[in-house]
A and B are shown apart, each in its own frame.
Chain A
Amino acid sequence: NAGVTQTPKFQVLKTGQSMTLQCAQDMNHEYMSWYRQDPGMGLRLIHYSVGAGITDQGEVPNGYNVSRSTTEDFPLRLLSAAPSQTSVYFCASSWTGGNTIYFGEGSWLTVV
């Protein structure tokens, strides 16, 4: 059971470039979300989804887009990367009504 899988693990982007962070879960979870973690800080919610076809904004959504075409996948798109988006990104999933939230291993993004 793979759980929550994120790719890539590491990425360096130039300012203005776009890219997509991939997230997949094989637990048939309805809820999925993306968080970012800056050095020495807790995680902050970027976007979340309560099911296929439904997405909503979290605490820090600016500069990011998401889509949820399937239950399994929840990609995060950076439209025009900025140095302020240098961070570690975590994808998470859980069942509806569940409070045990499973996190992926993280994606380290550096924007230069």
Chain B
Amino acid sequence: GESVGLHLPTLSVQEGDNSIINCAYSNSASDYFIWYKQESGKGPQFIIDIRSNMDKRQGQRVTVLLNKTVKHLSLQIAATQPGDSAVYFCAENRNAGNMLTFGGGTRLMVKP
């Protein structure tokens, strides 16, 4: 069936380096893609989203890239900090509302 999935289960980076977390999706009709950060014992926290008619969107220290040709989404975190350590999920939102399809998650570990 249609799904949103992640390439790497665990990513380990040195503090200060840039991190790139990847995600593949299979539904061409998706309207929005969203990245969430989930710390242990907490609910998902919205990081950034991107519309399907955009290729790139930047936030504070984060950039999301969307490649519709290969159905690929990535989250780039600049100057990764220990507080960035968490599990990151990409999610697909096909229409405005609460109906999200989540990928399996990537754990980001930041080494001091």
The residue of chain B having its C-beta at the shortest distance from the C-beta of A104 within the complex is B43
A67–B73 CA distance with the chains assembled, in angstroms: 35
A45 near B104: Cβ-Cβ < 8 Å: no
User: For window 82-106 of chain B, which residues contact chain A by CB distance below 8 Å?
Assistant: 89, 91, 93, 96-105
Given contacts A94-B97, A97-B96, contact A105 B102 (CB under 8 A): no
Query: Taking the nearest CB of chain B, how far is it from the CB of A38, in angstroms?
Result: 10
A43 near B104: Cβ-Cβ < 8 Å: no
Chain B residues within 8 Å of A103, by CB: 43-45
Given contacts A43-B44, A105-B42, A106-B41, contact A96 B97 (CB under 8 A): yes
User: For window 14-37 of chain A, which residues contact chain B by CB distance below 8 Å?
Assistant: 31-33, 35
Which among B34, B91, B96, B104 has the greatest number of chain A C-beta atoms within 10 A? B96
The residue of chain A having its C-beta at the shortest distance from the C-beta of B32 within the complex is A99
A101–B8 CA distance with the chains assembled, in angstroms: 25
Query: Taking the nearest CB of chain A, how far is it from the CB of B105, in angstroms?
Result: 6
The contact of A50 among B46, B49, B97, by CB within 8 Å, is B97
Chain B residues within 8 Å of A59, by CB: 101
The residue of chain B having its C-beta at the shortest distance from the C-beta of A97 within the complex is B96
A101 near B96: Cβ-Cβ < 8 Å: no
The residue of chain B having its C-beta at the shortest distance from the C-beta of A49 within the complex is B98
User: For window 32-61 of chain B, which residues contact chain A by CB distance below 8 Å?
Assistant: 32, 34, 41-46, 49
Known interface pairs A94-B98, A99-B96, A106-B42; 5 further A-B residue pairs with C-beta atoms within 8 A, sorted by A's residue number: A4-B43, A33-B98, A101-B34, A101-B93, A105-B43
- 8 intermolecular pairs with C-beta atoms under 8 Å apart: A31-B97, A40-B104, A94-B97, A96-B97, A99-B93, A101-B34, A101-B98, A102-B46
